[in-house]
Amino acid sequence: MRTFSIAIHGGAGTITRSLMSSEKEKLYREALTYALNQGEEILRKNGTALDAVTAAVVALENNPLFNAGKGAVFTNTGKHEMDAAIMRGDTLEAGAVAGISAVKNPILLAKEIMQFSGHVFLAGNQAEDFARSRGLAFETPEYFHDEFRFGQWMSVKDEEGYQLDHTDEKKFGTVGAVAKDAFGNLAAATSTGGMTNKRWGRIGDSPVIGAGTYANNESCAISCTGHGEFFIRAVVAYDIHCLMVYKGLSLQQACELVVNDKLVKMGGEGGLIAVDHLGNIALPFNSEGMYRGFATPEESIIEIYK
């Protein structure tokens, strides 16, 4: 068994070498490395998986390259509506939030919800009242405004439909982290700005416990990124747990079955990151690429393409 394992993602989609400049790739690699390091350092010092996934996701939220926190995509009314969730595998406690606009780090709000609200899932302006009562940092629309995201929105805002976070390519902008710590505890965290030009208060899989986020010391910790509607209908994260616990599949087998067979048959594009209770890591995706990385005591790897 590994002392610790951590994996992160920064979204999946049509991410190919031909669409990526070397400057842009460098920026993504640096950002992913930084976020991974934030979590890894905590685990190396025998910190908890919960703190490690939180630190990694905060770093990804703070970087406008990723569709979460600063750099979140625009809704059809030119706002930001962010979702996040966190879960710990030892107690099965969970916290989730949907449709918030002004909390600097949605993942920190999800954690406060888990620890101090007496609830699991809060939404909208009222969830921000809770955030205020807990003293969390708020930011102005200017903080969340990113020219690149704004341009994405401007190019599609008069269209009827929504858009997955994309430019020329199709990308599922979400960030996440999963970890196993030295105490054998697992944790998962996911945060997203959702779909560009989304409307009607649409909620994806990220804050849905069992769909986009799940952790259980019996099996694994999972954070997903993809076309959220399919991930909700397939209850993706909990499905992997059940395949391991009820059917005896390995983490790798369960992930392959769900991501590259079941989801593909449904038409659900995306991927996920997973660690199991032994510290094994799986990073499956059925799209062309996924911003991802993982670290163990022995190695630390960042990857983007297939």
Chain residues binding a copy of itself by CB under 8 A are 87, 92-94, 98-99, 117-127, 129-130, 161-162, 199-204, 208-211, 214, 228-229, 232-235, 238-239, 242-243, 246-247, 266
CA distance 15 to 4: 29
Q: Please say which residue, 62 or 117, places its beta carbon nearer to a copy of itself.
A: 117
CB of 116 to a copy of itself, least distance (A): 11
CB of 30 to a copy of itself, least distance (A): 34
Q: Which residues are catalytic?
A: 174
CB of 180 to a copy of itself, least distance (A): 20
Return contacts of 116-121, CB within 8 angstroms, 24+ apart: 120/94, 120/95, 120/96, 120/209, 121/95, 121/96, 121/97, 121/207, 121/209
DSSP H/E element including 259: none
Q: Please say which residue, 208 or 259, places its beta carbon nearer to a copy of itself.
A: 208
CA distance 38 to 59: 7
Among left, alpha and beta (phi > 0; psi -120 to 50; other), residue 191 is beta
CB of 214 to a copy of itself, least distance (A): 7
Residues 12, 16, 21, 22, CA torsion sign? positive
Q: Please say which residue, 123 or 156, places its beta carbon nearer to a copy of itself.
A: 123
Q: Please say which residue, 59 or 94, places its beta carbon nearer to a copy of itself.
A: 94
SS3 27: helix
Q: Please say which residue, 32 or 188, places its beta carbon nearer to a copy of itself.
A: 188
Structure letter (DSSP) for residue 138: B
Q: Please say which residue, 180 or 198, places its beta carbon nearer to a copy of itself.
A: 198
CA distance 249 to 133: 44
List the structure tokens of 215.
């952790």
Residues 123, 129, 135, 138, CA torsion sign? positive
CA distance 189 to 6: 11
Question: Residue holding tokens 């979702």?
Answer: 83
